[in-house]
Amino acid sequence: MPQSNRQICLASHPVGVPSEENFQLVEREVPDPQEGELLIKSHYLSVDPYLRGVIGGRSAYLGSIAEGDVIPGGAVGTVVASRSPGFAPGDVVSGYWGWQEYALSDGQRLTPFDTSLAPMSTALGILGMPGLTAYFGFLEIGQPERGEQVFVSAAAGAVGSLVCQIGKIMGCRVAGSAGSEAKIAYLTEHLGIDAAFDYTDTDNYGDALHSVCPGGIDVYFDNVGGPLTDAVFPQLNDRARVVVCGQIDQYNDVERSRGPRLLWHLIVHQARAEGFLVQQFADRFAEGRDQLVHWLQDGKITYRESVAFGIENTPKAFIGLFSGENIGKQLVKVVE
């Protein structure tokens, strides 16, 4: 049994964009599982935008953590010791045991993962929380119909890149925005969406949107918020749906920003804007995962991962989400 368990803990609550000083690498003893418990070794850790709210103490729905606490991110790994009847060494499970190399669990809130279906890392990406967010958010809230125009912001990220592909499966015309030339090439050449623009390369989002969606927008899958979303509203078609998935443009705001008041466009176009949390679909996760596995195995969807190596690089990988360092799902690999 290994001696030490390296963990990434909160050193201080960030104000504005998080920095590496907000995190601390701590070494503790690897705990022994007691009766009913199991010990898990992490293979991959997940860094996700929602953690910004958790570490900032501002997340009303996800809870917040205190200085010294382990960052409670998603992870996937193998059971290395078990005194729990439902688990045996070698089982692969995912859960939210946080950014640490080893974790004790009582077996609750773990999801078994079948590595004959796909590599273990996908439990945190296309077959995990981001995949289910794309699947249920787009299909259930967005209600896309064949031939409709879909626009996706942060289109080259974990959630966005899957929404784009499901949009194509549904027979929609799909356009997106992302923050670099490499991401635009990934979207148009690799994922085969119809059009995309680099929002960092224009000072007129309205014109850029019109050029990629000349017929207006029927479904807007919003990962970003802020000025980009302000520019989408005037381009909504009648009966459009705005799927409010994320507002990453505002996660590091120190003061609440006030944007243009655009709800008028919802009235004029009899459009609907609806926020959602992936967790609201928890009782249908198995159905969503099954469909995603089928599409993956049939080659109808694909995924990309950006992988950092070493638990000590987890804060850097997390911070990189806010400057768009990742294409697809950002992960940290913690075992060789």
Ligand X SMILES: NC(=O)c1ccc[n+]([C@@H]2O[C@H](COP(=O)([O-])OP(=O)(O)OC[C@H]3O[C@@H](n4cnc5c(N)ncnc54)[C@H](OP(=O)(O)O)[C@@H]3O)[C@@H](O)[C@H]2O)c1
Alpha carbon distance 266, 259 (integer Å): 16
Dihedrals phi, psi of 10, to nearest 5 degrees: -80, 120
- Considering only 37, 50, 96, 216, the residue that binds ligand X (CB under 6 A) is 50
Of residues 82 and 326, the one with the C-beta less far from ligand X: 326
Q: How many residues bind ligand X (CB under 6 A)?
A: 29
96: contact with ligand X by CB under 6 A: no
Query: Considering just the CA atoms, what is the radius of gyration of the chain in Å?
Result: 20
- Considering only 245, 292, 293, 334, the residue that binds ligand X (CB under 6 A) is 245
Residues 36 and 95 sit within 8 Å (Cβ to Cβ): no
175: contact with ligand X by CB under 6 A: no
Residues 48 and 74 sit within 8 Å (Cβ to Cβ): yes
Number of Cβ atoms within 10 Å of the Cβ of 155: 31
- Considering only 133, 149, 229, 235, the residue that binds ligand X (CB under 6 A) is 133
159: contact with ligand X by CB under 6 A: yes
224: contact with ligand X by CB under 6 A: yes
276: contact with ligand X by CB under 6 A: yes
Of residues 79 and 152, the one with the C-beta less far from ligand X: 152
Alpha carbon distance 325, 179 (integer Å): 9
248: contact with ligand X by CB under 6 A: yes
Amino acid residing at 134 = A
Of residues 122 and 223, the one with the C-beta less far from ligand X: 223
Of residues 33 and 225, the one with the C-beta less far from ligand X: 225
18: contact with ligand X by CB under 6 A: no
Query: Position of tokens 């705001």?
Result: 253
Q: Give the list of residues 6+ apart from residue 187 with CB closer than 8 angstroms, or none.
A: 155, 156, 161, 164, 176, 178, 193, 196
Alpha carbon distance 136, 280 (integer Å): 9
- Considering only 81, 213, 321, 331, the residue that binds ligand X (CB under 6 A) is 321
191: contact with ligand X by CB under 6 A: no
Burial of 108 (0-12, 13-18, 19+ CB in 10 A): exposed
Residue 47 tokens, joined:
């860094």
Nearest distance in Å: CB 226, ligand X: 6
48: contact with ligand X by CB under 6 A: yes
Residues 182 and 200 sit within 8 Å (Cβ to Cβ): no
187: contact with ligand X by CB under 6 A: no
249: contact with ligand X by CB under 6 A: yes
Nearest distance in Å: CB 323, ligand X: 7
- Considering only 126, 178, 187, 331, the residue that binds ligand X (CB under 6 A) is 178
Which residues of the chain form contacts with ligand X (CB under 6 A)?
48-50, 130, 133, 154, 156-160, 178-180, 183, 223-224, 245-246, 248-249, 276-278, 321-322, 324, 326, 330
